[in-house]
Amino acid sequence: MTKKMLRTLGLLYMIVLSILIMIPTIASAPLPQAVIATPTPQADGRIIYIVKENDTCISIALLMGIEEQELRDFNNLVADDCSFIYAGQELLVGIKEEDTPVPTAEVTAAPTPTPFKGNGSICIFLFNDENGNALAEETELPLAGGAVSVTDRLNTVNLTGTTDATGEAICFTEIPEGDYNISVAIPEGYNPTTVMNYALSIGAGEVSTVDFGAQPGSGLRPAFSEENPSPLLLVLGIFFIGAGVGLWFYMRRMTG
């Protein structure tokens, strides 16, 4: 092999290496926040929530299924206080009412009914993720116009809805426990900051809240979308094919 051919091959390898170094690493979209709320009343009937990292008053209220103002009233919080809640802090989120005793009466024994599965609830919150960190923060507003779909694996449950700007999550209650797929179609002009499809298992008595984020976009489809693969990969493939064909002709010419 001549020195000229070796120089040509070396130049081709340097070009390929430079292109590979310039290709950015495309990370997968972060998963939405998903939390399960199953608070247990204490002996005195108080229902206590332990604050976790990144919790806010609005996220705790959504998780517990109460109004944000109720949370403030329960804990004597003013607007500024919500900025200073900390991980490990105990917040009152409800009080279990005393059950009214029912007089007992002698009844005739009946056959034990066949056990059945219980129900749970799924809530979806779509928010304008201004800083793109995939976390629903108190300063980030809800996003209206998102099409929500909840289906189970057997397609026996098929629920739909549309998000609004009231600040309330869209909730589907009395759903049979099982495995579900949640999907959200964001409004036109927005790009997702979280995955828009999420698989979730719900148990009897559980309330699951899933946060989905999106932010205003340029109108272009995101580069990491499965439906829109990066054009850089296509250009790179064409380059490799062209370089291989050119090298084959060059070697044919040199050996001929």
25 — pLDDT class (breaks 50, 70, 90): very low
Which tens digits make up the pLDDT trace of 85-140? Answer: 888 888 888 887 766 666 665 655 555 554 446 888 999 999 999 898 988 888 88
d(CA 189, CA 6): 52
Which tens digits make up the pLDDT trace of 176-226? Answer: 988 999 999 999 999 999 999 999 898 888 888 899 999 998 644 444 444
d(CA 60, CA 88): 13
Phi, psi for residue 25 in degrees, rounded to 5: -80, 120
Alpha carbon 244 to its chain centroid, in Å, reads 44
**In one letter, which amino acid is 41?**
P
This prediction's pTM: 0.45
CATH number of 33-96+117-216: 2.60.40.10
Cβ count within 10 A of residue 71 = 21
